[in-house]
Amino acid sequence: MGLFSFSQELAIDLGTANTIIIQNGKIVVDQPSVVALDRRSDKLIAVGKVAQQMRGKEHENIRTIRPLRDGVIADFYAAEQMIRGMIKMAATSKSFFTPQLRMVICIPSGSTEVEIRAVRDSAEHAGGRDVYMIYEPMAAAIGIGLDVEAPEGNMIVDIGGGTTEIAVISLGGIVSNKSIKIAGDDLTDDIIEYMRRQHNVRVGEPTAELIKINVGAALTNLADGPEDYIVRGPNQMTALPMEIPISYQEIAHCLEKSIAKIEAAVLTALEQTPPELYADLVRNGIFLTGGGALLRGLDKRLTDKIKIQFKVADDPLHAVAKGTGVALKNIDKFQFLIR
């Protein structure tokens, strides 16, 4: 981008856990959705990975915030600061002028008008001139290469950090959808509670996230299960250090209730699906995207339960962001974008 370039186009996957920005078809920012602010002045100290590293280790003058909860903005000011910080990371222009920003941002399919307005306002305050929205399951479908405008049914189950988005897509629109606030954050909370109750050890959110990544599973019997993960933390009663090996079978057991709720939501969405589209889903299978799709054995568990083939998409973590990038390139073509 040259000296006299006044516009910049960004596709933003504004996620509860991670924010991804795509520019010119390339991922230029992939950072945790965390900001660190000075408690006294509310000045931005850090954003993304640097702020994430501070989480749980801050002193009284620093507060770390995750501005999004359950897929929507919970802290307006922090969200604006985070978006500004991420946009600065993405900036390639060394121009003397502030570029005008055209953005496409993805939002949960169950968003209310108030929640959509909050995202739009945050983006505009952060410098967005033209701000468009796209629903997450639609972006995920585009991102994994499905023809969303074909007269054919495809189902996406996008398990993010704050929400699980389930949608049946046909002819460029969402025919039936279900958005539930059971997702990656809830699985992390389940692990924190399990470690406290079962092993009498206190673990923070970052440690619980590592447990989920290393030994997270949806089935207690995997053909190629991971090795036990060693967890270190203080005993709740004595505050003495503990070292406990955690198996994937334990984690599959502790995540059971949350995964069962996701199963129930998928079944509810299928019940609302017209019969002709249902037949397409049986033939095409159902696609899993988002970080939750990486939970070991989840596709097999859902396939066995629902009797339709579930497939984990290629690069499920970036499917929504890639689809948002495609929508940005084809703003005039995609009529389902919200202006």
Could you read off the pLDDT of 48-71 as tens digits, one per residue?
Answer: 999 999 988 888 999 999 999 888
Amino acid 99: pLDDT: 62
HSE-up of residue 197 (Cα within 13 Å, Cβ side) = 8
Q: Which residue has the tokens 């339709």?
A: 308
Q: How confident is the model at residue 100 (pLDDT cuts 50, 70, 90)?
A: confident
Characterize the bridge pairing of strands 7-14 and 100-107. parallel
**C-alpha to C-alpha distance for 28 and 259, rounded to whole angstroms:** 33
**C-alpha to C-alpha distance for 49 and 29, rounded to whole angstroms:** 11
Same fold? 149-182+258-316, 184-254: no
- Quick one: average pLDDT of 295-324? 95
267 has a pLDDT exceeding 50: yes
Amino acid 3: pLDDT: 44
Answer with the residue of higher pLDDT: 154 or 333: 154
**C-alpha to C-alpha distance for 270 and 328, rounded to whole angstroms:** 30
Residue ranges covered by each domain of the chain: 7-138+321-329, 149-182+258-316, 184-254
Q: Whole-number mean pLDDT of the chain?
A: 90
89 has a pLDDT exceeding 80: yes
**C-alpha to C-alpha distance for 261 and 240, rounded to whole angstroms:** 36
CATH superfamily of 149-182+258-316: ATPase, nucleotide binding domain (3.30.420.40)
97 has a pLDDT exceeding 60: no
Amino acid 339: pLDDT: 61
Q: How far is CA 278 from CA 153, 282, 283, 285, 301, in A?
A: 7, 6, 9, 10, 20
Answer with the residue of higher pLDDT: 99 or 50: 50
* Percent of the chain clearing pLDDT 90 (strictly above): 71
295 has a pLDDT exceeding 80: yes
263 has a pLDDT exceeding 50: yes
Dihedral sign from CA coordinates of 221, 226, 228, 229: negative
* Percent of the chain clearing pLDDT 70 (strictly above): 95
166 has a pLDDT exceeding 80: yes
Amino acid 96: pLDDT: 39
- Quick one: average pLDDT of 251-280? 95
Task: Kindly report, residue by residue over 123-151, the tens digit of the pLDDT.
Answer: 888 888 889 999 999 999 999 999 999 99
Amino acid 94: pLDDT: 46
98 has a pLDDT exceeding 70: no
95 has a pLDDT exceeding 70: no
Structure tokens at 338: 């919200």
Residue 61's CB: how many other CB atoms inside 10 A? 11
Q: Which residue has the tokens 């673990």?
A: 203
Report yes or no: 172 and 114 within 8 Å, Cβ to Cβ: no
Amino acid 145: pLDDT: 94
Considering the domain delimited by 7-138+321-329, tell me its CATH architecture: 2-Layer Sandwich (3.30)
Q: How confident is the model at residue 92 (pLDDT cuts 50, 70, 90)?
A: low
- Quick one: average pLDDT of 220-225? 92
Residue 100's CB: how many other CB atoms inside 10 A? 14
Q: How confident is the model at residue 175 (pLDDT cuts 50, 70, 90)?
A: very high
Fold of 184-254: Actin; Chain A, domain 4 (3.90.640)
Report yes or no: 322 and 143 within 8 Å, Cβ to Cβ: yes
- Quick one: average pLDDT of 254-279? 95
Amino acid 41: pLDDT: 92
The contacts found for 295-299 with CB under 8 angstroms, 24 or more apart, are 295/159, 295/187, 295/212, 295/216, 295/217, 295/218, 295/255, 295/259, 296/216, 296/217, 296/218, 296/219, 296/222, 296/225, 296/226, 296/248, 297/217, 297/218, 297/219, 297/222, 297/252, 298/218, 298/259
- Quick one: average pLDDT of 319-333? 90
